[in-house]
Structure 1
Amino acid sequence: MRRRGRGASPPPTRSRENADERGEGHVNDDVTAATAQTRARPPRSDARRRPRWRPSVLLLVTLAAAVTGATVFAYAPAAQWLADYNQALIVDGYPQSVAAAVPGPADQRAEAHRYNEALSAGAILAADANVPTSSARTGQEFDYASMLRTDSGVMSRIQIPSIGVDLPIYHGTDEATLRKGAGHLEGTSLPVGGASTHAVITAHRGLPEAAMFTDLDRVKKGDLFTLTTFGEVLTYRVIDARVVDPADTETLRQEEGRDLVTLVTCTPLGINSHRILVTGERETPNPPQSVVAAGGLAEGAGFPWWAVAYLAALVVIGVYGWWAGRSTAARSRLAGRDAPADAPME
């Protein structure tokens, strides 16, 4: 046998070789476990890229339908509120328009009285007409459009406290005029009062965007309404309220010595086959409450509660949409985690 030199290292023993093999085995096991965990768990970058709100098509359709429905329900009160707001602005500006009118208020009222004295007939409610017509003529030439004229186009103001009406009165009864407020029927007495006069004021009923004379059927005998014309307050007490069949043509004429005003609108709502007539006779002297109300500002449209309700509905719809979309995304993420991992390669 050969002897080993002093500088030669001894050969590895069997026990050391076994230890090395066990160490390598543990390393391989750790690598395999780490690889499996990596496959089972999505990368951080992928998780961040996933949307946190993932609505379904059904959810989007539902949200769109809910918003549309809320808007439709809010339209009528919103339109009426805006109409009331605009009419209040016009009514509140009427005294300034009268003060700036040329000729002045006293001269214009005097001219209106001369116009009334020249009238020869009253108004006719035709069966096929939406508003009354007039066969009246004046004994001398008068320019109706120049009577009680202001820059704003408003000739008077009507207030019916029992039903909360406060409207400007314009010349004529064409459709464009009646969309803005009440109209004075040309050919009937101008609303300045006086013996043997009969003025006819008409307005729409049942408009979705404005109240106008919608509640005129609620006015009863004994109720008061007020006309304010170029600074003069005229109070009328209701003496008659009736529904007229236009097939039985009825004429509204002046009555000797009486100061009358008739308010006219159509009925039933949406059909307009009949007419509501509310006639008032002049009350003198003016009741104090009428004078006070006539000198005050219009009540206006009030607080827009419809806007609060509409915004609240949109908030509820938005919160529900956010929650439902998040739930859909969460279910999708859980489904991805529960999917089986890829089988390890052999």
Structure 2
Amino acid sequence: MAAPLPRETITAAHARIAGRIRRTPVLRPGPDTFGLPGRLSLKLEFLQHAGSFKTRGAFNTMLSETVPAAGVAAASGGNHGAAVAYAARRLGHAARIFVPAISSPAKIEAIRRQGAEVVIGGARYADAQEACDRHVAASGALRVHPFAAAGTIAGQGTVALEWDEDEPDLDTILVASGGGGLVAGMASFWAGRGKRVVAVEPEGSCALHAALAAGGPVDVPVESIAADSLGASNVGDLVFGICRETVDHVALVPDAAIVEARRALWRECRIAVEPGGAAALAALLCGAYRPASGERIGVLVCGANVDAEGLAALA
């Protein structure tokens, strides 16, 4: 089973992509913000190019691999596709992105705006991944996997490298998980360094929680308000192996808590994110994760691809 990625691999990934990504800021909202005692650190990764952390893994993969004339291909609920399209355009590669029918129009438009071809690949993410795999087999395009690839995981792990430089004394870090590539990369970086990394999943989309409970990857049904960004039905062997060794546990949150966390981010900080971007904070607000007195908590805030209707719902 897979071991955590070496920190040197993540450090090398950061050096490789640093000139092409944004170093996103950290916000310390102050005591009693969100009605929570103690110190809180928010890593504002929703300010990343293309609206999510996935731009890091996309650049790292394309800069680490040989991209053929057929270009790159990816399956995505939306954010990964926008990131791959963004990176491909800036590196001069053609991109074809396969999305499920549940993807939001805002995310599909974000992909097209970057010049990529968009293909509706079925009803759910797993269907889009199968369609992408068929295209890769037929065309020879480079597949940029959203989570189950070492290059992707190393790129996503660079979030932890930056955050650790800005906030070296955090005790616990809460990270939303869909396919698990982000939390696997971040937990790899902090492995053995006394940090507690907690994955946060919606109750209706909990592939990592199910895998850890079963002792291996299993298929799960996906039904959540955050399914278009946290909707993987199976985390796969690589993510499972890393997370089994490095993630403290998985906190499950109901959709209602995600809705409230989005509203709280807007109300308290004027931060507008999609549901998946608020899932980590939801774990604190609903009590799915209860910090000890004096515990220093980091919350990753990611996923800015929200449409006008979603913005109106925050008011």
| TM-score, reference length from structure 1 | 0.26
The structure having more radius of gyration, on CA atoms, is 1
| TM-score, reference length from structure 2 | 0.28
Structure number with the higher helix fraction is 2
